[in-house]
C-alpha cells in the first residue's frame, strides 16, 4: 500500500449488495446494532431506497433506464428476441450478445472471440446496488430431498430456511386465484401429483413478494432484506458505498488484514480494515476477487454448476379455461393478464426435476406470438447436473476484464448422464404440454444455452471437512482464514435444480450466526 492511501476501519466489511450481502448486513445489524458495517458495490444505486427491485418502478422509461444502468459496459437496451431465435442462434453457433443477454444483466464474455471459447456463453452478471436481486423472478422454492446439503443438521437447516423465507417475504399468495391459474394447476396436478410426495404436490410457486391489502405486489429486492438500513439517509453504523469496487484483499496468510477499494468515478483508492470481511459478489466474481488476492484454494472456481433448463410454450386449451373454470371467477374484475407462477417440486426419485410454469408476462424469456397472451403458458423444466472438478472458471494471469479484474473464461461440459437426464426432462415436458393443449411452434422445446439459468453454483462450495474439495466450511468461513466469509450461490455444493437464492440466503443466515458469535466473543 502507498503511504498516501486513506485507511479506514470498520467492524464488518461486506463486498456486494445483492440479496446475500443484504442478508449478512441485516442479520448482524439486528443482533448487534452497535456493529459498524460498511457495504460496497461496484455498481450504481438505481433507486432512492437501496436495492429496490426494478419491477417496482412504475414508470416504464425509468424502469428501462435502471435496467440499462445495471448492465456494466453495455449501457443500451437489448433488442427483444424470441426463444426460438435464441435457441436457433445457439444451435448455429451464432452467439451474440443480443441473443444471450437479458435486461438488467451483462455477459461475462462480451466479444465474439471470447464467447466462442466460453462453454457457458449465457453466464451473466448484474452490476448495480441490489445485484441480480433487482431483476430476478423471485421464485423461492425449498429444495427437495436430495438437493439438501447433507452435512447441515436438520434443525439448523430448518431455522435458516424459515428465517430466509421471513427476510424474503416468501408467499404463495402473490397472485389472486383466477380461471387459467386453476386450470394450469389442475392439468399439472392430474399428470404429476400421483408420483409426488404429499408435501411436494403441484402448487403455486413460493415467491419473494409483499402483497398489500389491495393485492398490490411489491417484489422483494435487497431493500426489503435490508429493512431500515436501505432507507435514504440512514446513518447509524451502516454505510453503503456504491460504484466502489474491491480490487484486492490483503492477508497475512491466516487473516484478512485489509481490503483495497476504489471509487470508480473518481478513482479514489482506500484501504478498509475490518474485523470480519464477507465477500458476496456472485458465483463468478467472489472467486475472482479471492483469486486476485492470492487466496487460491484448490477448489476455488471449480465444480462450476448450473441446472440445464428446457423451455417450451403451450397454448392453453380454451375449453379448460372457459368450460371448466371461468364461470367460477369474475374475469372482468382482473386488472392485469398475469396468472401466476406454478411449481412442480423436485422430489427424487420419481421427479428428480424442477418445473416452473409461468404465464408469459412473468416469464424471464419473452416470446413473440399472435396468440392471445391470456392463454399462453411457459413450461420451464430443469434437471440436476453431475458435478465435476473440470467444470471451472479459468482466471487469466495476464488479461483483464472491463474493470481491470482478472479476465474469466468458463469451462463447462455436459456428461453422458446429463444428456440422458435432459432427454428425460424433454419427454416429461412433452407429456405435460400435450395435457395443456398444443405447443406453440415459435416456442417449441429448447435446451437453453449454458448459463441461461443465471443460477451458477459451486465455485466457492462449502464442505464438511477441509479435504481440498471445498472452499469454505458449512458456516461459509473460508478454510484457513478465521475472519473471511463467502456468500451466494457459489457456496452450494449439491447438484440442484430448484432456484438457489432461498438456499443462499439461508446459508448466509447460518453464517451470520457464526459471525455474530465471533464479534460478541471478540474472536476474530
Ligand X SMILES: Cc1cc2nc3c(=O)[nH]c(=O)nc-3n(C[C@H](O)[C@H](O)[C@H](O)COP(=O)(O)OP(=O)(O)OC[C@H]3O[C@@H](n4cnc5c(N)ncnc54)[C@H](O)[C@@H]3O)c2cc1C
Per-residue buried b or exposed e for 83-121, using 16+ beta carbons within 10 Å of the residue's own CB: bbbbbebbeeeebebebbbbbbbbbbbeeeebbeebbbb
Kindly state whether residue 499 participates in binding ligand X, applying the rule CB under 6 A. yes
**Residue with smaller CB distance to ligand X, 10 or 17:** 17
- Identify whether the C-beta of residue 17 lies closer than 8 Å to the C-beta of residue 240: yes
- CA-CA distance, 60 to 37, in Å (whole number)? 34
**Residue with smaller CB distance to ligand X, 118 or 293:** 293
Q: Which residues 6+ apart lie within 8 Å of 102 measured at CB?
A: 78, 124, 135, 364, 365, 454
State in angstroms the smallest separation of the CB of 522 from ligand X.
27
* 495, three cell numbers: 447438484
Question: Which residues in 245-264 contact ligand X (CB under 6 A)?
Answer: 245-246
Element (H, E) at 272: strand 268-279
**Residue with smaller CB distance to ligand X, 446 or 489:** 489
Task: Mark 469-488 with x for binding to ligand X (rule: CB under 6 A) and - for no binding.
Answer: -------------------x
Q: Which of 53, 106, 351, 455 is catalytic?
A: 455
Task: Mark 86-125 with x for binding to ligand X (rule: CB under 6 A) and - for no binding.
Answer: ----------------x-xx--------------------
Does the annotation count 455 as an active-site position? yes
Kindly state whether residue 439 participates in binding ligand X, applying the rule CB under 6 A. no
Select the residue interacting with ligand X from 27, 43, 168, 382 (CB under 6 A).
43
State how far the alpha carbon of 486 is from the alpha carbons of 229, 232, 404, 476, in Å. Answer: 21, 27, 22, 6
State in angstroms the smallest separation of the CB of 75 from ligand X.
15
Question: Which residues in 139-158 contact ligand X (CB under 6 A)?
Answer: 139
- CA-CA distance, 106 to 494, in Å (whole number)? 26
To the nearest 10°, report the CA torsion of 152, 153, 157, 158.
170
Kindly state whether residue 449 participates in binding ligand X, applying the rule CB under 6 A. no
* 203, three cell numbers: 402448487
Kindly state whether residue 240 participates in binding ligand X, applying the rule CB under 6 A. no
Element (H, E) at 316: strand 309-316
Kindly state whether residue 16 participates in binding ligand X, applying the rule CB under 6 A. yes
State in angstroms the smallest separation of the CB of 380 from ligand X.
10
- CA-CA distance, 293 to 473, in Å (whole number)? 20
Kindly state whether residue 462 participates in binding ligand X, applying the rule CB under 6 A. no
Q: Which residues 6+ apart lie within 8 Å of 219 measured at CB?
A: 53, 55, 56, 138, 208, 209
State in angstroms the smallest separation of the CB of 440 from ligand X.
22
Select the residue interacting with ligand X from 11, 41, 147, 165 (CB under 6 A).
41
Residue span binding ligand X (CB under 6 A) among the ranges 25-33, 127-135, 158-166, 476-484 = 127-135
What is the size of the binding site for ligand X (CB under 6 A)?
41
* 358, three cell numbers: 409461468
Select the residue interacting with ligand X from 35, 118, 446, 501 (CB under 6 A).
501
State in angstroms the smallest separation of the CB of 426 from ligand X.
22
Question: Which residues in 364-393 contact ligand X (CB under 6 A)?
Answer: 364
- If one counts every other C-beta atom within 10 angstroms of the C-beta of residue 56, the result is 19
Residue span binding ligand X (CB under 6 A) among the ranges 129-137, 250-258, 325-333, 381-389 = 129-137
- CA-CA distance, 342 to 360, in Å (whole number)? 12
- CA-CA distance, 46 to 150, in Å (whole number)? 38
* 289, three cell numbers: 476477487
**Residue with smaller CB distance to ligand X, 141 or 437:** 141
Closest by Cα among 236, 252, 382, 373 to 314: 373
Kindly state whether residue 18 participates in binding ligand X, applying the rule CB under 6 A. yes
Kindly state whether residue 225 participates in binding ligand X, applying the rule CB under 6 A. no
Kindly state whether residue 127 participates in binding ligand X, applying the rule CB under 6 A. yes
Select the residue interacting with ligand X from 241, 285, 359, 407 (CB under 6 A).
285
**Residue with smaller CB distance to ligand X, 181 or 490:** 490
Kindly state whether residue 168 participates in binding ligand X, applying the rule CB under 6 A. no
Kindly state whether residue 338 participates in binding ligand X, applying the rule CB under 6 A. no
Kindly state whether residue 454 participates in binding ligand X, applying the rule CB under 6 A. yes
Select the residue interacting with ligand X from 179, 259, 276, 280 (CB under 6 A).
280
- Identify whether the C-beta of residue 115 lies closer than 8 Å to the C-beta of residue 109: yes
Kindly state whether residue 226 participates in binding ligand X, applying the rule CB under 6 A. no
Kindly state whether residue 45 participates in binding ligand X, applying the rule CB under 6 A. no
Kindly state whether residue 271 participates in binding ligand X, applying the rule CB under 6 A. no
Q: Give Cα 153 distance to the centre of its chain.
A: 24
Give the length of the chain.
Answer: 524
H helical segments located in 310-453: 318-319, 416-436
State in angstroms the smallest separation of the CB of 220 from ligand X.
11
- CA-CA distance, 291 to 289, in Å (whole number)? 5
Select the residue interacting with ligand X from 99, 132, 178, 439 (CB under 6 A).
132
- CA-CA distance, 42 to 243, in Å (whole number)? 4
* Residues binding ligand X (CB under 6 A): 15-21, 40-43, 102, 104-105, 126-128, 131-133, 135-139, 245-246, 280-282, 285, 289, 364, 454-455, 488-489, 499-501, 504
Q: Which residues participate in catalysis according to the annotation? A: 455
Amino acid at each position: 500500500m502507498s503511504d498516501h492511501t486513506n485507511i479506514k476501519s470498520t467492524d464488518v466489511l461486506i463486498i456486494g449488495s445483492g440479496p446475500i450481502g443484504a442478508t449478512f448486513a441485516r442479520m448482524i445489524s439486528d443482533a448487534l446494532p452497535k456493529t459498524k458495517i460498511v457495504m460496497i458495490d461496484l455498481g450504481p444505486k438505481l433507486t432512492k431506497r437501496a436495492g429496490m427491485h426494478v419491477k417496482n418502478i412504475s414508470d416504464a422509461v425509468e424502469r428501462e433506464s435502471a435496467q440499462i444502468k445495471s448492465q456494466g459496459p453495455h449501457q443500451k437496451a437489448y433488442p427483444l428476441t424470441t426463444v426460438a431465435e435464441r435457441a436457433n442462434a445457439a444451435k448455429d453457433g451464432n452467439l451474440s450478445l443480443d441473443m444471450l443477454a437479458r435486461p438488467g444483466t451483462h455477459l461475462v464474455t462480451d466479444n465474439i472471440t471470447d464467447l466462442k471459447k466460453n462453454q457457458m456463453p449465457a453466464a451473466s452478471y448484474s452490476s448495480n446496488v441490489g445485484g441480480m436481486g433487482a431483476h430476478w423472478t423471485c421464485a423461492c422454492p425449498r429444495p427437495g430431498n436430495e438437493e439438501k446439503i447433507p452435512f447441515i443438521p436438520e434443525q439448523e437447516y430448518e431455522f435458516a430456511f424459515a428465517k430466509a423465507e421471513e427476510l424474503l417475504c416468501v408467499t404463495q399468495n402473490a397472485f389472486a386465484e383466477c380461471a387459467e391459474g386453476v386450470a394450469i394447476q389442475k392439468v399439472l396436478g392430474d399428470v404429476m401429483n400421483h408420483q409426488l410426495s404429499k408435501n411436494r404436490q403441484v402448487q403455486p410457486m413460493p415467491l419473494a413478494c409483499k402483497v398489500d391489502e389491495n393485492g398490490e405486489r411489491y417484489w422483494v429486492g435487497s431493500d426489503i432484506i435490508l429493512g431500515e438500513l436501505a432507507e435514504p439517509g440512514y446513518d447509524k453504523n451502516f454505510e453503503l458505498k456504491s460504484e466502489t469496487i474491491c480490487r484486492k484483499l490483503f492477508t497475512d496468510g491466516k487473516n484478512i488484514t485489509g481490503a483495497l477499494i476504489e471509487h470508480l468515478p473518481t478513482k479514489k483508492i482506500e484501504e478498509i480494515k475490518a474485523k470480519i470481511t464477507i465477500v458476496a459478489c456472485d458465483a463468478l466474481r467472489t472467486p475472482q476477487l479471492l483469486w486476485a488476492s492470492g487466496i487460491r484454494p484448490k477448489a476455488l472456481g471449480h465444480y462450476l454448476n448450473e441446472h440445464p433448463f428446457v423451455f417450451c410454450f403451450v397454448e392453453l386449451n380454451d375449453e379448460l379455461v372457459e368450460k371448466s373454470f371461468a364461470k367460477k371467477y369474475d374475469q372482468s374484475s382482473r386488472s392485469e393478464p398475469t396468472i401466476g407462477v406454478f411449481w412442480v417440486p423436485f422430489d427424487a426419485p420419481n421427479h428428480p426435476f424442477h418445473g416452473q410454469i409461468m404465464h408469459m408476462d412473468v416469464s424471464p424469456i419473452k416470446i413473440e406470438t399472435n396468440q392471445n397472451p391470456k392463454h399462453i403458458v411457459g413450461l420451464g423444466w430443469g434437471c440436476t447436473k453431475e458435478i465435476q472438478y473440470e467444470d471451472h472458471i479459468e482466471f487469466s494471469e495476464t488479461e483483464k476484464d472491463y474493470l481491470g479484474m482478472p479476465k474469466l473464461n468458463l469451462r463447462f461440459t455436459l456428461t453422458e448422464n446429463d444428456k440422458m437426464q435432459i432427454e428425460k426432462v424433454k419427454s416429461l415436458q412433452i407429456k405435460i404440454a400435450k395435457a395443456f393443449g398444443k405447443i406453440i411452434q415459435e416456442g417449441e422445446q429448447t435446451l437453453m444455452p449454458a448459463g441461461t439459468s443465471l443460477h451458477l453454483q459451486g465455485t466457492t462450495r462449502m464442505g464438511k471437512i477441509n479435504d481440498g474439495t471445498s472452499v469454505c466450511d458449512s458456516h461459509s468461513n473460508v478454510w484457513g482464514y478465521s475472519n473471511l466469509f463467502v456468500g451466494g450461490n457459489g457456496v452450494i455444493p449439491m447438484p440442484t435444480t430448484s432456484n438457489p437464492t432461498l438456499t443462499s440466503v439461508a446459508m448466509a443466515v447460518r453464517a451470520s450466526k457464526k459471525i455474530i458469535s465471533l464479534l460478541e466473543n471478540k474472536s476474530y
